[in-house]
Amino acid sequence: MKIVMFDIDGTLIESTDFDTTLYIQSVRDVLGDVFIKEGWEQYKNVTDTGILLEIASDNGIKYDDIWLKKVQAKFYDYIASHIKTNGCKPIKGAVQLIESLSKDANYKVGFATGGWRNTAELKLRTAGFDISKIPIVTSSEHFSRTTIMQMCKNAIPGEFEEVIYFGDGIWDMKASKELSWKFVGIGSKFQSQNVPWILDYTDTKITNKELL
């Protein structure tokens, strides 16, 4: 039996662009006109909590659970408002793949995301995913992506011969390598990375389970 684990934003859902914009807006609404690095890859922990903690540190802001919760609340409100107006679409073929794997006795599915839980679950439900029986671990539980991924693995009972992680970020690839897991990239950016990759889940390598 194998675990097939997925990141969410940009991996299962077409949300990367609006998610990033609204995250930055939420941070600045609460913390003011703070300095934010150009590109998430410059942050040590590319998760909603990890990035926020580093932004605060870079700007000399002492950690406070109050402002962290305010940023989370702002972000949820912005995401909910955006979805109400614009909807939230799955990556092509993603819903069907999750349904297929969930019914296959050879696989267990998990979601491990750097996003916060409330926004992640809202986006998944809106995009048409049934998440009622799938373990989800998020940045609400930990700031470290590798820890989030390991926690998700630990939440799935049983013995497994392999863990396969799907992600759209270079940080997903690095975290998978650190954990010695198989990685499959989503998007053509991985063409130069010497890893298996697909554009979306209609790729025959996935539909025929060649990469699984």
> What's the number of CA atoms in the CB half-sphere (13 Å) around residue 190?
22
CB-neighbour burial class of residue 17 (10 A; exposed 0-12, middle 13-18, buried 19+): exposed
**Residue ranges covered by each domain of the chain:** 2-15+88-207, 16-86
pLDDT at 16: 87
* Separation CA 175–CA 181 (nearest Å): 9
| Sheet strands (E) in the chain | 2-6, 107-112, 136-137, 162-167, 182-186, 197-198
Q: Are 154 and 115 in contact (CB under 8 A)?
A: no
pTM of the model: 0.96
CB-neighbour burial class of residue 96 (10 A; exposed 0-12, middle 13-18, buried 19+): middle
pLDDT at 17: 87
C-alpha radius of gyration, the chain, whole number: 17
Please report, as a single letter, which amino acid is at residue 46. V
pLDDT at 39: 92
pLDDT at 110: 98
pLDDT at 103: 96
Per-residue pLDDT of the chain (212 residues; tens, 9 = 90+): 999 999 999 999 999 889 999 999 999 999 999 999 999 999 999 999 999 999 999 999 999 999 999 999 999 999 999 999 999 999 999 999 999 999 999 999 999 999 999 999 999 999 999 999 999 999 999 999 999 999 999 999 999 999 999 999 999 999 999 999 999 999 999 999 999 999 999 999 999 999 99
Task: Give the fold, CATH level 3, of 2-15+88-207.
Answer: Rossmann fold (3.40.50)
* Separation CA 3–CA 150 (nearest Å): 12
pLDDT at 75: 98
